[in-house]
Every structure is written in C-alpha cells, then in structure tokens.
Amino acid sequence: MDKLKLDLLKTISDLESTPKGAYNIRENGKSVGRASTENIEIVTKSDTSGIDIYIKPNCVNESVHIPVILTEGGLKDSVVNDFHIGENSDVLIVAGCGIHNDTDETSSHSGRHCFYVGKNSKVRYVERHYGEGKGLGGKAMYPVTEIYLEENASMIMETSQIKGISDTKRSTIATLQANARLEIREKIYTHKRQNADTSFKIYLNGKGSAGTVISRSVAENSTQKFESQIVGNNDCFGHVECDAILLEDAKVTSVPEIVANVPDAKLSHEAVVGKIAGEQIIKLMSLGLSEKEAEDTIINGFLK
C-alpha cells in the first residue's frame, strides 16, 4: 500500500503494519489481505459480498481487524459481515471505514454487521468513520448493525465519526436475552453542511438484561438527528443519553423513546442540546487561551 492508504488505515484502526491475530483488509471493494488464526476463521461469503467470521468457544484475548478503505471516486461499496462468536469468549473487534475522494463524484460505503454472541461471551467492538479529499464529491457512510446477545453475554460498542463524512445514516438493532449487557457509546462530529442520522433500537427480552446508549455529538454548520428506542419486555434496565453541542448555523433533533411492556422494566432517558456556555469560554480564556483555542478544548473534552 502507498502512504495515502496506510495513513487511512492508521486513522480508522490504529494500524501501522500488518495486525497481529485475525484480519481482513478491504480496499476499493476487494479483499487485499487476510489471515485467520487457530481460534478465529475468516471465510468469504458465497452468496454476497462480505465475510463470515467464526470465533471458537473459549477464545480469550484475541482480536479481529476488518478495516475498509476507499480511494476511488464514485465507488459504491457494499458489504455484509457476520460474526459468529462461541460461548465463553472474550474478543476485540476493530472495524471502520476511511474514504479519500479527490473527485466530484460521491463515494460511499454501505456495510451490514451482524453479531451472534454466545452465552457468557464478551465483545468489545470499535468502529471509526473518516473522510478526506480535495474533490467536491460526497463521502457517505451507511452502516447497519444487528446484535444478538445470548444469556449472560455482553458487548461494548464504540462508534465514532471523526470528520469529513458528508452523509451518514446509521441503524443499530439489538436483542438481549437473560442477564445480557449492551453498552453503546457514540461520538459524532459534523460540519460544512454535512448530515448525520443515527437510530438505535434495543429490545430487552431477558430477565436481568440491561442496555445503555450514550451519544455525544458536535454539529457545526450541519444537521444531525438522533433517534433511540429501548423496549423493556422483562425485569430489565435501560437508559439513553443524548448530548449535543451546536456551533454556528447547526440543527440537531433528538428523539429518545422508552417503551415499558411490563411493570418491572426500569427505563430512563435524557437529552441535552445547546451551545457552549459562555462562562466556560471565559474561564479558559482567562488562562491564556484564545476564544478558538478555548472552544476546541471544550469540544475535544466533550468528545473524549
């Protein structure tokens, strides 16, 4: 890979060389590097573009990297990846997509990731989206995530849109069985008339299941919409937080929804949308920062 592609990989997945463990690197719609391990097997799908990742039971302290990079203008990439995670496992999965577009045509990536997490297993899933390039063409991301957590399974999902993505539509649907745990942490930054729509639906079906969605976003001269629905179908716990900062001519819509179908469901939500408090700016400027430096410091801390 040339320097441009290597820089994209580093930005979205912290990779500077071939990763340890299992990996599949996708470039402009094709796999350009792959490795399986004794406990993790990656197989090309026969019926559609994408891969199946099979993680054996009792697989602990191993990782899977599946980054995607696009450097061809006008490319519409689409992929379906399924993760089959055996019981009693504890793994890290790192995904994400980077687009470099110097043309006036829109480049886009549509990905569907399905996670089938076995009993007592733990998954940490990290996904980053990033766009760059001098062309006027768009850089679009349309990810769909489906999560199925069996009894006592848990998953932490960390998603971040760093910058440069002109249009995003994210959909996440999760179903939890007894004592399963799901924590979703979302961070989004949009600017220059960009748009981001994210939607989360969590079904707490099992007794003792728990789901949390925490969204932090900054909208600068752009639009965002956050939708969430937590459905409690048993003695369970669910909570949603949406905090957004508006800069200049920005618009943010927050639509949190909780549905308690049984008396024992304990569900809550909160949403805060507004500009940076003036006293925060003044306090940092009194320490020697310019107004722009103070604003950047607050934003970086907010999205940390």
Single pTM value for the model: 0.92
Q: Say what the pLDDT of residue 284 is.
A: 63
Inside any domain, residue 303:
no
* pLDDT tens-digit map of 6-17: 888 888 888 776
Q: What is the pLDDT of residues 109-139, one digit of tens each?
A: 999 999 999 999 999 999 999 999 988 899 9
Cβ proximity of 136 and 164 under 8 Å = no
Q: How confident is the model at residue 278 (pLDDT cuts 50, 70, 90)?
A: low
Residue-wise pLDDT for 185-198, tens only, equals 999 999 989 999 99
Q: Please write the tens of the pLDDT for every residue from 203-229.
A: 999 999 999 999 999 999 999 999 999
Distance of CA 268 to the CA centre of its chain: 22
Average model confidence (pLDDT) for the chain? 92
Residue 127 resides in a domain: yes
% of the chain residues with pLDDT over 90: 76
Number of independent structural domains in the chain:
1
Q: Provide the residue range defining the domain that includes 106.
A: 3-278
Domain annotation covers residue 89: yes
Does residue 235 lie within any of the structural domains? yes
- At 162 the pLDDT is 82
Per the structure block, which two tokens stand in for 162? Answer: 């760093």
Q: Does the residue 202 lie in any domain?
A: yes
